[in-house]
Amino acid sequence: MFAIIKTGGKQYLISAGDKIKIEKIDTEEGKEVVFDEVLLLGKDEKDIKIGDPLVKGAKVNAKVIKQDRAKKIIIFKYKPKKRYKNKKGHRQLYTEVEILKILSSSAKSAT
C-alpha cells in the first residue's frame, strides 16, 4: 500500500517502512505523529483513491526518529568590477520519520 501525503508545503510518496526527511515539526524523538492530509491512497496501480482534495478518513501513522539540521548550503553573490561580494550559509532544520501504518477509511488498519 502506498500514499501521497502533504506536510510542510511539500508532497511525499510513501509506503509502510519508509524513512523520510520532512520539514521540522515540533515533537520529541520517539513520539508518534499522525498525518491526516492524505492526497492519494493505493494498493496497486489499479486500485487507487484520489482525494478531492483529501481522501476522507485516511491517516498515516509515523514515528519520529530524529530532529536535526541538514548540511550547510553556501549562498554566494558576486558582481564583477563593483566590489560586491556577499557570502551566507544556511542549515535547514528537518525531522526524520519512519512510516508505520497507512490507514484508509474503508479498512481499520492496512499496511
pLDDT tens column, 54-93: 999 999 999 999 999 999 999 999 999 999 999 999 999 9
Cα three-residue angle 102-30-72, rounded to 5 degrees: 95
pTM: predicted TM-score of the whole model, two decimal places: 0.82
Q: What is the pLDDT of residue 104?
A: 87
Residue 109: pLDDT above 70?
no
Half-sphere exposure of residue 61: CA atoms within 13 angstroms, side-chain side: 11
- pLDDT, one tens digit per residue, over 27-61 is 999 999 999 999 999 998 889 999 999 999 999 99
